[in-house]
Amino acid sequence: MDLVAGIDIGGTKTKIGLVAKNGDCLQQSFFRTQEFENFDDFLIRIKTEIEALEAKLDFPVNLIGCGIGAPNASSRNGTIENAANLKWKGSVPVLEKFKQHLDVPMRIMNDASAAALGEMLFGNAKNMNDFIVITLGTGLGAGIVANGKLIEGYDGFAGELGHIDMTLGDGRLTGLNVRGGLEAYVSATGLKRTVLYMLCKYMDESRFRDVAYNDLHGEDITKAAEEGDPIALKAFDYTAKIMGLALANFTAFTQPRAFFLMGGLVNSGKWILDPLQTYFEDYLLEVYKGKVKILTSGMEGKTAAICGAAALIWEEQN
């Protein structure tokens, strides 16, 4: 059976799976990325995992390729470059090195762009030519599809929408030291920062007056909103407002048919999605109103990142 190895390299975990043409992930595993100081040791571990997964299947596997999603990956150069959350610094020639260990067709791409390809091949964006996937985890990532093709950019770094500044250079700093960067507001981390901002700005009673920043978790903010905590409600409203404005701005760029949201912040459900919908329509230019949908990803769950990475190879088989 023809299968693709989908590999998602994250700051914490590296996930590996064997993915069939229909998007089913037949086997999967993960290990901790940070265990590996040496990048070659890391690649050897990936190869070992792939072989172990193949052995678990009770039919012969024809590995037709290997797709990799990673932060700060350049699809054109086959590299990971200066990733803030990974140990390997500078420009890491991922494909060049991995080909020394495994001789199959390989592609690497920014994880959010891979997610967009996954959404197009296996998820809710089938037959859609213009859409944007937004990942809302520790940061904010984006995969942009226009004219039916992923926008990769001149050397493969398009879609860094988490680092767009919407404050005229006068806002919060992101991890990349970008002032006013969107992900400092709109992401799981951004929501936590906004809880602090609201605790500072208002004097409402709140359960979060007894919680330190490092003990704040997204689920607790959702739970507090359900209980009517005024700081949690204000934090969701503020996050939704900035996100609504951001998605309205993005619409003016490529006029997508839909946005697909995925990642931790989406788990807050209606607390973020309902006000987001209202602010978004309000901020949209007249000519776009009522035309652009905000949807959740059809790839949610443990294998979304793996299938997105595998889509890099399956896309080329069509």
DSSP, collapsed to helix, strand or coil, labels residue 77 as coil
Query: What is the smallest separation between the CB atom of 117 and its own copies, expressed in angstroms?
Result: 14
Query: In this chain, which stretch among 36-44, 162-170, 225-233, 269-277 interacts with its own copies, using CB under 8 A?
Result: 162-170
Q: By CB under 8 A, name the one of 51, 96, 155, 316 that touches its own copies.
A: 155
Residue 119: what are its φ and ψ, rounded to 5°? Answer: -60, -35
Q: Which is nearer to its own copies, 102 or 151 (CB)?
A: 151
- Please name the residue that has the structure tokens 């407002």: 241
Query: What is the smallest separation between the CB atom of 35 and its own copies, expressed in angstroms?
Result: 26
User: CA–CA separation, 307 vs 297, rounded Å?
Assistant: 13
Q: By CB under 8 A, name the one of 17, 256, 275, 308 that touches its own copies.
A: 256
Query: In this chain, which stretch among 51-59, 168-176, 206-214, 270-278 interacts with its own copies, using CB under 8 A?
Result: 168-176
The verdict on 82 binding its own copies (CB under 8 A) reads yes
User: CA–CA separation, 205 vs 295, rounded Å?
Assistant: 34
DSSP-assigned beta bridge partners for residue 8: 15, 69
- Write the binding mask 229 to 248 for its own copies: x where contact by CB under 8 A, - elsewhere: ------------xx--x--x
Query: In this chain, which stretch among 36-44, 171-179, 192-200, 218-226 interacts with its own copies, using CB under 8 A?
Result: 171-179
Do the beta carbons of residue 133 and residue 140 sit within 8 Å? no
Number of chain positions touching its own copies (CB under 8 A): 49
**Around 214, how many Cα atoms within 13 Å sit in the side-chain half-sphere?**
0
> What is the Cα gyration radius of the chain?
20
Query: What is the smallest separation between the CB atom of 251 and its own copies, expressed in angstroms?
Result: 8
CA-to-CA dists, residue 270 to 161, 164, 195, angstroms: 23, 26, 18
Query: In this chain, which stretch among 61-69, 96-104, 116-124, 139-147 interacts with its own copies, using CB under 8 A?
Result: 139-147
The verdict on 160 binding its own copies (CB under 8 A) reads yes
Q: By CB under 8 A, name the one of 29, 255, 267, 296 that touches its own copies.
A: 255
Residue 198: what are its φ and ψ, rounded to 5°? Answer: -70, -35
User: CA–CA separation, 146 vs 296, rounded Å?
Assistant: 19
Residue 271: what are its φ and ψ, rounded to 5°? Answer: -65, -30
Q: By CB under 8 A, name the one of 165, 220, 281, 315 that touches its own copies.
A: 165
The verdict on 295 binding its own copies (CB under 8 A) reads no
DSSP, collapsed to helix, strand or coil, labels residue 61 as coil
The verdict on 69 binding its own copies (CB under 8 A) reads no
Do the beta carbons of residue 178 and residue 165 sit within 8 Å? yes
The verdict on 318 binding its own copies (CB under 8 A) reads no
Q: By CB under 8 A, name the one of 31, 88, 157, 197 that touches its own copies.
A: 157
User: CA–CA separation, 57 vs 178, rounded Å?
Assistant: 46
- The residues of the shown chain that bind its own copies, judged by CB under 8 A, are 72, 81-82, 129-130, 144, 146-147, 149, 151-161, 163-169, 171, 176, 178, 241-242, 245, 248-250, 252-257, 283, 285-288, 291-292
